[in-house]
Structure 1
Amino acid sequence: MDESQSLLATARARLEESLLAKGLRRSSERFAILDEVYSRNDHFDAEDLYEAMQQKSYPVSRATVYNTLELLVECGLVQRHQFGDEDNVKSRYEKSLGRQQHAHLVCTVCHRVKEFCDPRLHLIKTNVSNSLQFQVESHSLVFYGQCTDNDCETKPIDSHVRE
């Protein structure tokens, strides 16, 4: 069994435990949604997930997708992020098992999300915990700006170029 299959098996077991503890039905739809989430390596919104399920001809309602995402967040299998500004906040999700702590870069033009890891973030968290006598359970760092990818909808104009 490879790492991704092992991770999915762990996620499925945790979902099953959570459903049993809450007295909820162990429906095939919930597990199919979990499978789709754990097949992805991106940050997605509920509509992205719904469309992926439709493209795979899996008959699941939009409401089931939204409700299952909430359930997956509650049992720690999915992490929700609120990316955007105060006028345009959008929930994005990513699988959480098997992921190392990371921070995000969000392009304000094409809305792509990139991840990065920097060991200094862990050091900062540790220093803050120790100096302020505060047990940090989680943290989030998001940088907003404009990416310089060639396929970004609107690349930044080089200020040194004159017409």
Structure 2
Amino acid sequence: MAHPASEETIDLVKEIFSSYLKEHNQRQTPERFMVLEEIYRADGHFDADDIFFNMKEGGTRVSRATVYNTLDLLVECGLVQRQQFGENQYYYERAYAYQQHDHIICKKCGKVLEFCDPRIQEIKTMMEKIHKFDISGHSLHFFGTCQDKEACEKRQKEQSGTKKSKVKS
């Protein structure tokens, strides 16, 4: 799992985001930068609601629409990656200064494991040569189910309880 970004990285991504907003005639609001910081201080993958509720619990007043709109801007400027792990399940993760990695996803509880295997880079290089193609990135997801059934069921129950309590707020 990734660790929270350093202050140096956070300052740098703020500068990149600021430049992007200026170039695209977008407003530089404090809320947008708070969403960016929330993402870069977090671990791993998250959905838009995770960001919204974490910020709300932390005392930051930000609308759900601002979170969604800011995530779109961050994806457009390359600071955040959007991953689709299920039919309507979008997760986000930091994209700046993090090496390429791939994912193993449980279809039942939604657990996401990250892994990095150098052989995938070798396959990429070989495919570029064979097909005379410049590959700029890739996305690899393995789907399955946890072998530890008890832990998986526990996570499923926690997730359904969390989603219900979030709706009440």
Indicate the TM-score class for this superposition, using the shorter chain for normalisation.
0.7 to 0.9
The structure 1 residue matched to 2:28, chosen from 22, 26, 31, is: 26
Distance in 2, Cα, partners of 1:125 & 1:131 = 10
Query: What's 2:72 paired with?
Result: 70
Query: What 5-or-longer segments of structure 1 have no aligned partner?
Result: 156-163
Query: What's 1:131 paired with?
Result: 130
Distance in 2, Cα, partners of 1:115 & 1:58 = 29
Cα RMSD (Å) of the superposition? 1.4
* Count of paired positions: 150
SS of aligned partner of 2:81: strand
Distance in 2, Cα, partners of 1:102 & 1:113 = 12
Does 2:141 match 1:142? yes
1:49-96 alpha-carbon deviations (Å, 9 max, x no partner): 111111011110000000000000001100000111xxx331100001
Distance in 2, Cα, partners of 1:141 & 1:89 = 18
Distance in 1, Cα, partners of 2:152 & 2:85 = 18
Query: What's 1:41 paired with?
Result: 43
C-alpha displacement of 1:154 = 6.6
Query: What's 2:153 paired with?
Result: 153
C-alpha displacement of 1:151 = 2.2
Query: What 5-or-longer segments of structure 2 have no aligned partner?
Result: 156-169
Correspondences of 1:85-124 after superposition (within 5 Å):
88-124=87-123
- The sequence identity of aligned pairs, in percent, is 44
1:55–1:154: structure 2 CA closer, same or farther, 3 Å change rule? closer
AA in 2 matched with 1:135: D
SS of aligned partner of 1:121: helix
1:51–1:154: structure 2 CA closer, same or farther, 3 Å change rule? closer
